[in-house]
Amino acid sequence: MAEKIHEVINRLLTAKTTRFGVPPGTLVEDISSRKAKVTLIKYDQNTYSSEEIADLTKLNDTIANADPVSVSWLDVDTVHDVTTLQSIGEIFKIHPLTLEDIANPHQRPKLEDGDGYLYLVLSAIYLDSKNKEIIKEQISFILAEGLLITFQEKPNEVFNIIRKRLETVKGRLRKMSADYLLYTLLDVVLDNYFIALNYVNEQINHLSARVDKHPDNDTIYEIQELKQELLVITRYILPIREVLWDLMKIDSEIIHESNEIYFKDLSDHVLQINESLEVLKDSLVSLLQYANSIIGNKLNEIMKVLTVVSTVFIPLNFIASIYGMNFHHMPELEYQYGYHAVLAVMSGLGLFMLVYFKVKKWI
């Protein structure tokens, strides 16, 4: 997990520097780029179609022939394919600076009112169920009347659940406009935040058990790392609330007034995520203080053992040493029961000490 965090910070930092010296509004071709998979889903209350668009020029016809009541959802599964981005930018007349923001996977969440469309970008996190890692990716949305374009940083299955619902359930989602689709996708994004926090909570419980037993350096290290991971997540989630507020206040016909209540609902979810984050962070701080107190108490216990043993035996040993001296004239040595008397004194002294420590609650 530790490496993950440093990676996150590294990306946060290197994001800007890789663009260093390049004029703004220029798309930088990424080395790891591969052809993006572009999927177009069209639906209304009765019909549903889904096709992968290999040749983007066909998209023009599709858009032109658009049924005014249907909704089109165009999904681009990676932002590292600059050619595809540029083509889509031209077809839908997206501003070059917006395109650059889409391509650069290190934006702060924000909402921009473009010419005929809204541009919304935010950071999603989801739990990689295999590696038990929290993955961060940036998702960009272009919302126009009857059209939603989603740009994912890298291919993943976060939105599959909605695709399946669109295909199988003729419910409310199929009747509503494109902004409702946006709401549904954002809801899935926030659900994934809850899942991730749930996983963090489990980890805290594990760490808590480990602190109880044996608060070693590794445990403390992991608590620190988890705390920092929460800090980074906080930085992802907090600006989303501003974005949702802007979305509700925006004077745009693309967001239907009757749907504003749904975005308010999302805003409440963000608040709730943030409060859970605060509680989790407080848990970790408490856990650290608890671990430190336990370390302190352990030291006390160790020292008590040492002190009891030393304090009991050092004086006894001293007595034995006295009668181990080789003076010619030591009358006690010649007593018939001198040896037994000394043993008795020693036993008495030792017992007395043990009782004393018992009273002091050291043993």
**Chain CA centroid to CA 13, Å:** 18
* Least spacing, CB of residue 165 vs its own copies, in Å: 7
Choose between 50 and 208: whose C-beta lies nearer to its own copies: 208
Residue 70 vs 192, nearer CB to its own copies: 192
- Measured from the Cβ of residue 289, the count of other Cβ atoms closer than 10 Å reads 10
Least distance to its own copies from the beta carbon of 62, Å? 27
Smallest separation (angstroms) from its own copies to the CB of 59: 27
DSSP H helices, 47-177, are 58-64, 82-91, 96-103, 160-168, 172-175
Q: What is the closest distance, in whole angstroms, from the C-beta atom of residue 86 to its own copies in the complex?
A: 16
CB atoms within 10 A of CB 148: 25
Range 294-298 contact pairs with CB under 8 angstroms and sequence separation of 24 or more: 294/211, 294/212, 294/215, 295/215, 298/215
Of the candidates 117, 26, 106, the one whose C-alpha atom is nearest the C-alpha of residue 74 is 117
Q: Which is nearer to its own copies, 136 or 227 (CB)?
A: 227
Buried b (16+ CB within 10 A) or exposed e, 256-267: eeebbebbeebb
Question: Which is nearer to its own copies, 66 or 114 (by Cβ)?
Answer: 114
Q: Which is nearer to its own copies, 59 or 181 (CB)?
A: 181
Closest contact distance (angstroms) between CB of 75 and its own copies is 18
CA dihedral 217, 219, 225, 229 (to 10 degrees): -170
Q: What's the min distance (Å) between Cβ of 103 and its own copies?
A: 14
The amino acid present at 225, given as its one-letter code, is E
**Looking up tokens 């043990």, which residue turns up?**
354
Q: From the CB of 93, what's the least distance to its own copies, in Å?
A: 16
Cβ nearer to its own copies, comparing 69 with 231: 231
For residues 69 and 309, which CB has a smaller minimum distance to its own copies in the complex? 309
Nearest-angstrom CA–CA distance, 92 and 150: 13
Smallest gap from residue 35 Cβ to its own copies (A):
28
Which is closer to its own copies, CB of 194 or CB of 352? 194
**CB atoms closer than 10 angstroms to residue 155:** 11
Residues belonging to the chain: 363
